[in-house]
Amino acid sequence: MMDISVEVVKKTKRHTREELEELSKEQLMDRIIQLESQNFQLKNIIQKATGTKSDQPRSGNKNQRKFDFSKCHKRHILLRVFYLGWDFQGYATQEDSANTIEHHLFNALTRVCLIENRESSNYHRCGRTDKGVSAFHQVVSLDVRSKFPPESQLSPESLQNELNYCQLLNRVLPAEIRCVAWMPTANPNYSARFDCRSRTYRYFFPRGSLDVDAMRKGCEFLVGSHDFRNLCKMDVGNGVVTFQRNVHYAVIRDSLKDGGDSSYDMLYFELRGKAFLWHQVRCIMAILILVGQGREDPTVIRELLDVEKNPRKPQYSLANDVPLNLYECLYKSKGSFDPKVFDKNGPVPEEDQDEDEGESDLREWVYEEESLTRTIEELQALWASNSIRSTMCREMLKSLQDIYAEQFPTQPKPIAQASILLQGVQSREYQPLMSRKMCETLENRIEHYAKKRRIQVSVKEVGGEDGNKED
């Protein structure tokens, strides 16, 4: 049995003089044109982000004294953040966009002088959500400025009189991003990413004409340890070649009942696990929607999880990004991480593991009344605004549906609330999932990126029949 491991090849962006001298005149000209084009794009990005031309100095007080972080104490904390990601380009910082959650978060952290820069902040995030995806419970860990020396930072007095981190950040963050609470840690290396015990996602959707009972049957096949290569986007180019993940539970629950017409009921699909793959939740939801539409049998999920029988993923559209929410993150109370020994391709630990004895690395979340009150009031205002729009649409629909029933009594009433859940163009004639065109196998993808020198592949023999079956 073979065990495949890969290493991402990090290309250096600078060339030595000797390397440049070996290039032909045409190659050098192509290189110059490419650099000028990239320089022009970067200028436009800077101008768009700052609102000023990139070749003009920024306005500001030249005599403003720079904050001296060398005179400050630091403490390591977890920071709980929620955001409505509908109008953002995702969570993680991007080179070609300033409209990301992480960009705004670090802009706020540096503006209020809680950190000097990202590089020195010992920063980790629980997870990175894609464009349009929201989070009720995103968590980051980092070192921030403190009023108290390290030896007294965990005392009740220092916790009560510490800097009001949430209030400071919320004053400068966009309205759709809010800091909810912070938590002190006894371990200076505690990581929001590597010490996360479980992550829970919720995907909200209207009942419409969906067969929810069939969708619930499909959820049963997801629970447990499976290879999800057919229910995610394989990120081989970034070194991910193992797709075994453990789903703790997968359920569909009622969220809000309409009272008059069940097709307007709101539900949510909830999925919990230790870690997830790229687009895994949206791929799973896309298949569940096809099941709910009656186009696929619930057992198709079992078929997709059988990678020996079906090693190639059929082509299908993702579920819409807007209804997805990173709902909850739970943490281990003891332990630290070591990036040198962490293997993202390795087996995923079980959720229910024994915690170390002794004092916990974590404390309680610190909430501040004024800051939390203001956040709740802002969210209530946003809810009211959107609920008014929703109620107006619902009243119009009631009137139009009554007219339709009167004018066309023999026709079934239109039910299309769930039609927006799948992205892409829907064909008039449905083609069964397992008879569609298939994507490349994992082995072909590995070979492709290895030829492009994006990854380095090493293969070794694994002894024993069950060498790679352990989760």
Q: How many CB atoms lie within 10 A of CB 152?
A: 12
Q: Is 195 a catalytic residue?
A: no
By the 8 A CB rule, do 327 and 255 touch? Answer: no
Closest residue by Cα to residue 418 from 285, 270, 325, 279: 285
> 196-206 and 124-125 as β-strands: parallel, antiparallel, unpaired?
unpaired
By the 8 A CB rule, do 251 and 270 touch? Answer: yes
What is the rounded CA–CA span in Å between residue 193 and residue 124? 6
Q: Which of 3, 87, 130, 466 is an active site residue?
A: 130
Query: Position of tokens 């962006």?
Result: 13
Closest residue by Cα to residue 270 from 211, 228, 223, 235: 223
**Residue 91: partners with Cβ closer than 8 Å, 6 or more residues away:** 83, 85, 100, 101, 102, 125, 127, 128, 129, 130, 133, 135, 138
What is the rounded CA–CA span in Å between residue 251 and residue 259? 22
**Residue 34: partners with Cβ closer than 8 Å, 6 or more residues away:** none
Instruction: Give SS3 for 391.
Output: helix
Helices (runs of H) and strands (runs of E) counted in the chain: 10, 11
Active site residues: 130
